[in-house]
């Protein structure tokens, strides 16, 4: 019995460790946090940002696994959704950057000066695609 | 030893097809006798031919040789890059608006599809339903109160990352996109410097 419990604890801990390191590696590769500190000029606070990512991951993991329920107003979802979207948007932007999409695209089709408009195409495409998905598409895919 | 002449090659020069390139086109020339520097700048170096396509590399040794041929008593000192990339600009491709619109639409539709596939891939609908339940304790099928701000946030996050809104107002730093373009250009330059310059590599089967 004790051995079983210890094994389960060990497996859970090992799994969490692997996922946690993977999560951090993902954030580091995409460089979202340095980008945010650069935008806001708060390089000194970088350790606080590290902790916010760690605590966020732990709280999110805990809440989704424990099915805890807060019973608060539904309007809390608006700021949460907005922050959620900004974060995913930054990840998506960072991903196109890491993959070197823009410089190659601009070179190939020769539009170095109009690249902002193409960037807007991607950003609006994301917004419209996402809205379409939630409002319309999900009804036909249950 | 004669008079000292300083030569600094430019990094990248654009020329027209069939241009005759002089020392002054590819390099800054500095000498105590400014008349002589002016004269050295007019030395012809290279004639662009159609077979050169659009990139020609001028090695610093070629410039030094040309200058020494003009006056062998000079003491030539070189500073800066050791080759110049000459870009032959053929008539500027004009882009039709229709073509541009097509690419815009391609990116627009493509990224819309990509985000939808991403949502399905990570089962975000279920996550959002679950999140709605965590916050409010109620179950709903379409938690649009969460999802519409989320969708708007996506666009804000992308634009924020590339810093197009605040760039002019807050800081002078280049955006990551500009740095990325610069790095890419730098890599291409590095490549053509090595591969188009016959002087920079010597292979076994070269005679």
> In which band, very low, low, confident or very high, does the pLDDT at B114 lie, cut at 50, 70 and 90?
very high
pLDDT of residue A132 exceeding 90: yes
Contact A38 B150 (CB under 8 A): no
Structure tokens at A6: 């210890």
Kindly report the backbone phi and psi dihedral angles of residue B76, in degrees, each rounded to the nearest multiple of 5, phi listed first.
-95, 125
Contacts 24+ apart (CB under 8 A), A11-20: A16/A61, A20/A57
Label residue A118 by pLDDT band (50, 70, 90).
confident
CA A15 to chain centre: 20
Strand-pair partners of B12: B85
From the list B49, B1, B58, B53, the residue with the least C-alpha distance to B24 is B58
Distance CA B14, CA B86 (A): 6
Rounded CA-CA distance B161/B177 in Å is: 9
Among A113, A123, A115, A114, which residue's Cα sits nearest to residue A93? A123
Q: Tell me: the pLDDT tens digits for A92-111?
A: 888 887 677 777 777 777 77
State the smallest CA–CA distance between residue B82 and chain A in angstroms: 25
Q: Which residues of A touch B154 (CB under 8 A)?
A: 85-86, 88-89, 92, 123, 126-127, 130
Tokens of B108: 């627009």
Q: What is the ipTM of this complex?
A: 0.83
Residue B78 structure tokens: 């070189």
Is residue B150 over pLDDT 90? yes
Distance, in angstroms, between B124 CA and closest chain A CA? 10
Residues of A in contact with B94 (CB under 8 A): none
Which of B109, B126, B162 has the highest number of chain A CBs within 10 A, making it the mutation to test binding with A? Answer: B162
> Is there a contact between B137 and A110 if contact means CB atoms under 8 Å apart?
no
Q: Domain residues of chain B, as ranges?
A: 4-88, 163-202
- Angle of helix A101-109 relative to helix B176-196, nearest 10 degrees? 60
- Which CATH entry fits the domain spanning B4-88: 2.60.40.10, 2.60.120.260, 2.60.480.10, 3.30.1490.100? 2.60.480.10
| Of residues A41, A72, A79, nearest to B136 (C-beta) | A72
Of A81, A90, A103, the CB nearest to B146: A81
Give me the residue label for tokens 């800066």: B80
R_g (Cα) of chain B, nearest Å: 28
Q: How confident is the model at residue A142 (pLDDT cuts 50, 70, 90)?
A: low
* A contacts of B93 (beta carbons < 8 Å): 110
Contacts of B179 (CB under 8 A, 6+ apart): none
A79: nearest CA partner in chain B: B149
Determine whether the interchain pair A35/B152 forms a contact, defined as Cβ–Cβ distance below 8 Å.
no
Task: Say yes or no to pLDDT of B154 above 60.
Answer: yes
| Secondary structure (3-state) at B45 | strand
Q: How far apart are CA A13 and CA A10, in angstroms?
A: 5
Report d(CA A105, CA A111) in Å as an integer.
8
Highest mean pLDDT among A2-11, A29-38, A111-120, B188-197: A2-11
Of A67, A77, A127, the CB nearest to B152: A127
Name chain B contacts of A121, Cβ cutoff 8 Å: 104-105, 107-108, 111
| Candidate from B105, B132, B173 with C-beta closest to A77 | B132
Mean pLDDT within B66-91: 85
Residues 6+ apart with CB under 8 A from B65: none
Higher pLDDT among residues A105 and A45, named by residue: A45
* Cβ pair B32, B85 in contact under 8 A: no
> Which one of A73, A125, A131 makes the best mutation probe of the B interface by having the most chain B beta carbons within 10 Å?
A125
Residue B172 scores a pLDDT above 70: no
B88 to chain A, minimum CA–CA distance in Å?
A: 15
Whether residues B145 and A77 touch (CB distance < 8 A) is answered with: yes
- Annotated domain spans of chain A: 70-142
What local confidence, expressed as pLDDT, does residue B166 receive?
Answer: 54
- Interface A-B: count of C-beta contacts within 8 A: 220
Q: Does the beta-carbon distance from B162 to A119 stay under 8 Å?
A: yes
Residues B166 and B172: their CA atoms lie apart, in Å, by 10
Q: What is the DSSP letter of A31?
A: T
Which residue from A minimizes the CA distance to B127? A64
Residue burial A35-69, b: 16+ Cβ < 10 Å; e: rest? bbeebeeeeeeeeebeeeeeeebeeeeebeeeeee
The DSSP code for B93 is P
Residues of chain A with C-beta less than 8 angstroms from the C-beta of B134: 63-64, 67-70
Strand order in the sheet with B55-59: B12-15, B83-88, B55-59
* Arithmetic mean of pLDDT over chain B: 84
Query: Mean pLDDT over all residues of chain A?
Result: 87
């Amino acid at each position: 019995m004790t051995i079983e419990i210890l094994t389960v604890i060990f497996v859970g801990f090992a799994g969490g460790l692997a996922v946690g390191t993977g999560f951090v590696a993902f954030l580091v590769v995409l460089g979202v946090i340095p980008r945010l500190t650069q935008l806001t000029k708060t390089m000194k606070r970088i350790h606080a940002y590290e902790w916010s990512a760690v605590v966020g991951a732990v709280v999110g993991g805990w809440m989704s696994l424990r099915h805890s329920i807060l019973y608060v107003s539904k309007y809390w979802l608006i700021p949460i959704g907005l922050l959620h979207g900004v974060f995913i948007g930054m990840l998506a932007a960072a991903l196109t950057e890491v993959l070197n999409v823009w410089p190659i695209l601009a070179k190939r089709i020769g539009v170095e000066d109009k690249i902002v408009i193409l960037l807007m195409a991607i950003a609006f495409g994301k917004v419209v695609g996402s809205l379409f998905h939630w409002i319309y598409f999900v009804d036909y895919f249950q | 030893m004669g008079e000292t002449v300083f030569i600094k090659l430019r990094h990248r020069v654009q020329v027209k097809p069939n241009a005759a390139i002089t020392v002054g086109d590819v390099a800054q020339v500095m000498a105590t006798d400014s008349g002589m520097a002016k004269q050295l700048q007019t030395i012809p170096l290279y004639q662009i031919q159609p077979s050169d396509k659009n990139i020609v590399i001028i090695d610093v040794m070629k410039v030094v040789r040309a200058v020494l041929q003009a006056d062998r008593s000079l003491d030539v000192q070189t500073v800066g890059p050791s080759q110049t990339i000459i870009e032959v600009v053929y008539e500027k491709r004009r882009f039709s608006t229709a073509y541009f619109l097509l690419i815009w639409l391609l990116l627009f539709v493509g990224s819309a599809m990509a985000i939808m596939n991403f949502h399905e891939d990570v089962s975000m609908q279920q996550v959002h339903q679950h999140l709605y339940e965590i916050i409010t304790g109620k179950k709903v099928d379409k938690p649009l109160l969460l999802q519409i701000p989320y969708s708007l946030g996506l666009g804000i996050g992308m634009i924020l990352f590339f810093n197009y809104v605040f760039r002019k107002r807050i800081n002078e730093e280049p955006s990551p996109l500009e740095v990325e373009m610069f790095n890419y250009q730098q890599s291409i330059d590095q490549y053509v410097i090595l591969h188009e310059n016959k002087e920079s590599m010597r292979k076994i089967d070269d005679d």
